[in-house]
Amino acid sequence: MISVKKVDNRPLNFLERLYLPEIARGLLVTTRHFFVNLFNPKGIPTVQYPEQTLPLPHAARERTRHRLKVRADGSPKCVACFMCQTACPAYCIHIEAAEYPDNPVEKYPAVFDIDLARCVMCGMCVEACPEDAIAMDTLEIPGGVLDRNALKLGREALLRNLAGEPSLKGASNRLANDYLKSRGQA
């Protein structure tokens, strides 16, 4: 949609061309802000992040710190298919795959690193995941650290279930479910 804004281009009148009254008006505005904020600092909308955070609007909740979901036996749901690493536009995911000796799922991520300093929080990894293993719903906003290494998340830092998980609802991996059932863990 193109919106049209009519600009009032009338020539300046004498007082305006003098500048001084206009300058005084401008000073009045800024001075008012100055004194209002000086005597009522609570009105300033600044949030002291990271000590202080705002409740997130709904759409933003799906774009918070990543987590890897965990199966009932404590293994990651991730099967190291590399789809997230492939989809990632910021190249912030690093995976190294390994093989289970017994679990018929066969493949798991021995290393799963996300460099939040590089991440652009686009959520493409979540979209790409065929196993519903990665999610960005921790409601934690990364940042506000003093050390860059604090933004590098390893596998253990990522593995986390929310309350009510793990559930088999939506679990796409038949082999994993069979395995858990056979061990009485599902």
Partner 1 sequence: MMEFYEANKDLLLFAGASAVKVLVFLNAVMGFTALLTLAERKVSALMQDRIGPNRASLFGLALNGLFQPVADGIKMVMKEDFVPGRAEKLLFALAPFFALVPVLALFSVIPFGDYVMVFGYKFDLQIADLPLGLFMVLALSGLAIYGVFLGGWSAKNNFALLGAMRGAAQMVSYEVVLGLTLAGLLMIFGSAGLQDIVRAQGRLLFGWLPAWGVVYQPFAFILFLVAAIAENKRTPFDLVEGESEIIGYFMEYSSMRFAAFMFAEFVEIILVSMLAATLFFGGWQVPYLYETGFILPGGAQLPLNHYLVSAMQVGAFAAKTVFFSWFLLVVRWTLPRFRFDQLMNLCWTRLLPLALLNILITGAVLLALGKV
Partner 2 sequence: MPRITIDGRPIEVEKGVTLLEAAQRLGVHIPRYCYHPKLSVSGNCRMCLVEIEKAPKLVTACSTEAADGMAVLTMSEKVKTARRDVLEFLLINHPLDCPVCDQAGECGLQDYYMEHSLAKSRFPAEDKVRRQKRRVLGPHLVLDNERCILCTRCVRFCSEVTRTSELEVMERADHSFIDLKEGRALDNGYSLNIADICPVGAWTSRDFRFKQRVWFLKKTPTVCLGCATGCLTEVHHNENTIYRVVPRPNAETNTWLCDAGRMTYKAVQAGDRLAKGVIKNGLIDLEPALRETASRIDEAHGALAVLGSPWLSVEDNAALARLAKDALKTADFSFDFSAEQGVKDGILINKDPAPNAAGARRVQAAFGGTSFAELSAKVASGAVKVLVTEARAAALLKDALKAGGARLIVFAANRSEIPAGAYATLPYASYFETPGTFINFQGLERRTQPAVTAAEGVKPLWAMVNKLAVYSGTSLRLESAQDALKGIDLK
* In the complex, minimum distance from the CB of residue 107 to partner 2, in angstroms, rounded to a whole number: 4
Phi, psi of 170 (to 5 degrees): 80, 0
Is there binding between residue 23 and partner 1 (CB under 8 A)?
A: yes
Is there binding between residue 80 and partner 2 (CB under 8 A)?
A: yes
The listed partner (partner 1, partner 2, none) that binds 107, CB under 5 to 8 Å by sort, is partner 2
Per CB under 8 A, the list member of 37, 167, 172, 185 interacting with partner 2 is: 172
Which residues neighbour 166 within 8 Å (Cβ) at sequence distance 6 or greater? Answer: 69, 70, 71, 72, 77
* In the complex, minimum distance from the CB of residue 21 to partner 1, in angstroms, rounded to a whole number: 12
Say how far apart CA 62 and CA 138 lie, in whole Å. 8
Query: What does the H/E/C string look like for 116-127?
Result: CCCCCCCCHHHH
Nearer to partner 2, 22 or 178 (CB): 178
Is there binding between residue 98 and partner 2 (CB under 8 A)?
A: yes
Say how far apart CA 53 and CA 55 lie, in whole Å. 7
Say how far apart CA 95 and CA 115 lie, in whole Å. 12
Amino acid identity, position 133: A
Measured in residues, the chain has a length of 186
Scan residues 27-46 and list those touching partner 1 (CB under 8 A).
27, 29-31, 33-34, 37-38, 41, 43-46
Nearer to partner 2, 81 or 151 (CB): 81
Which residues neighbour 38 within 8 Å (Cβ) at sequence distance 6 or greater? Answer: none
Is there binding between residue 141 and partner 2 (CB under 8 A)?
A: no
Nearer to partner 1, 26 or 143 (CB): 26
Binding site for partner 1 (CB under 8 A): 20, 23, 26-27, 29-31, 33-34, 37-38, 41, 43-46, 48
